[in-house]
Structure 1
């Protein structure tokens, strides 16, 4: 299939997890990828590039922290120099700092969440939109925590709620230029951000050493569809749709890929 044939897409946080999945899925559909991540993720970025090559795609990797606007601009310039244009952007980079009650959160954890998740998305758009062609598209990755609050995660929730406002404002600002902007909000996704001992312990405080199967019971109970988490490719498929011509008149919306987490009436 060639839904992204001859398109060039920049993806942040491309070294692992959902970011890598977005890169590979878009490459499968014909896109050339500018894969951006931290310098410390060099090995991960190399793996992403290898997986893109495996599906027949073209890729260039670049190191940039989304908190560093000039580094992002340099990555964009490098990508455009290689591929000649920029059609679409996936602002995917994000972190989930240590949890805690709002008044007990560490100041640095609060600021890092805002700097990476919200300011990082703004920087990504600021570095890319002036270089994009008419008819382009932007997807910002939020979270179900962008729509509802969850105890113990006010720093993460606040940063992701901000992403919704940013995306909807951008949709209004860029519509006249033919550039669409949407947000995708994953629930629990089967990546290391969820599948780790710290999260398992939080989900199952009744157990001494909970594992993935124990956490799955708690997570599945939250979702209408009864699965504990979605796979990264499920989120990538939503991103693909929103970037493709199939969504040519879709802008300013929030798409939840969450197995019914947000829709469930508790």
Structure 2
């Protein structure tokens, strides 16, 4: 009797084991797939191998970045506001411009020289029923920042939200490979541009206004292949906190969004083609974000309806790190 009982127990154990093995195989198969938790299915690696000439045009990126957030419904969170977005011609900046317009804001777009991309962004903003002006130029130059702000206020009447988003990024395997020219360009675009634009904008901003800076996961964790870029993004995070403290008494909030990998012209215009093909695959979600997955955070941080008690914060959106 004991032997039969033992055999029955062993059979039961093997049955449990088979059930667990089956679940393990299913779990491993699921873990190999990229996570999809949005309103639509987003592209996953591998992507077509591609390497774009700087500064990179959105029209040349394959597949095209998704920016229009068709399932995002506006609710007048920025009604009557005027926003200035640097690097607003493509990528995150374009999606932010579209969602700001959907929330009722008129938009000024600052960009370097990608005129066709900027025209497409302008058309997308106007399709939302809002005004959009285009202001090309190098935000790394103080006088250009002053000019862009002056034109924004002159043409759109006032300035309520500044989004510092323009960026320069190029990889280097070794610190010795970073030329003085590259280092200067990275600092001028990513730090000088943010500082000078804020310096020009703040005198025009009333209590209730907001500044949102684009940081990066590289500014939190660092990236060995993006040494100078990581340095500037960490600086942007510190600048955000310090400026928030300085502007507390003036009623102007300052925050930052720190994205992980995002499918935009920035990376295909930096990485080698074979690396672009697997871009974002190293995240727990196993894919890069699309710009429309990042842009709602800028709406949240810009709207006093949503975030009036939030300032000096860094909001990471990094795909599950």
TM over 0.5: yes
Unaligned runs of 5+ in 1: 204-210, 262-266
Cα pair 1:18 1:236 within 8 Å, conserved? yes
Paired residue for 1:110?
183
1:49 is displaced (CA, Å) by 0.6
SS in 2 for 1:21: helix
Q: Highest relative contact order (Cα 8 Å, sep 6+), 1 or 2?
A: 2
Unaligned runs of 5+ in 2: 1-74
* Structure with bigger gyration radius: 2
The number of residue pairs the alignment matches comes to 246
**Aligned pairs for 1:1-266 within 5 A:** 1-38=75-112, 40-195=113-268, 198-201=271-274, 203=275, 212=277, 215-216=278-279, 219-223=280-284, 226-245=285-304, 246-261=306-321
- C-alpha distance in 2 between matches for 1:15 and 1:221: 27
- C-alpha distance in 1 between matches for 2:150 and 2:105: 18
Paired residue for 1:208?
none
1:99 is displaced (CA, Å) by 2.3
1:35 is displaced (CA, Å) by 0.8
> What is the root-mean-square deviation of aligned Cα atoms in Å?
1.6
SS in 2 for 1:220: coil
Cα pair 2:170 2:271 within 8 Å, conserved? no
- C-alpha distance in 1 between matches for 2:226 and 2:101: 34
Cα pair 2:171 2:225 within 8 Å, conserved? no
- C-alpha distance in 1 between matches for 2:270 and 2:177: 22
Give per-residue Cα distances to partners, 1:152-176, cap 9 Å, x unaligned: 2111111111101111100000010
1:139 is displaced (CA, Å) by 0.4
Which moved further from structure 2: 177-186 or 53-62? 53-62
Give per-residue Cα distances to partners, 1:41-88, cap 9 Å, x unaligned: 222221111110112221111122111111121111111112211101
- TM-score under structure 1 normalisation? 0.88
Cα pair 1:171 1:252 within 8 Å, conserved? yes
Cα pair 1:53 1:59 within 8 Å, conserved? yes
- TM-score under structure 2 normalisation? 0.73
Paired residue for 1:264?
none
Cα pair 2:162 2:201 within 8 Å, conserved? yes
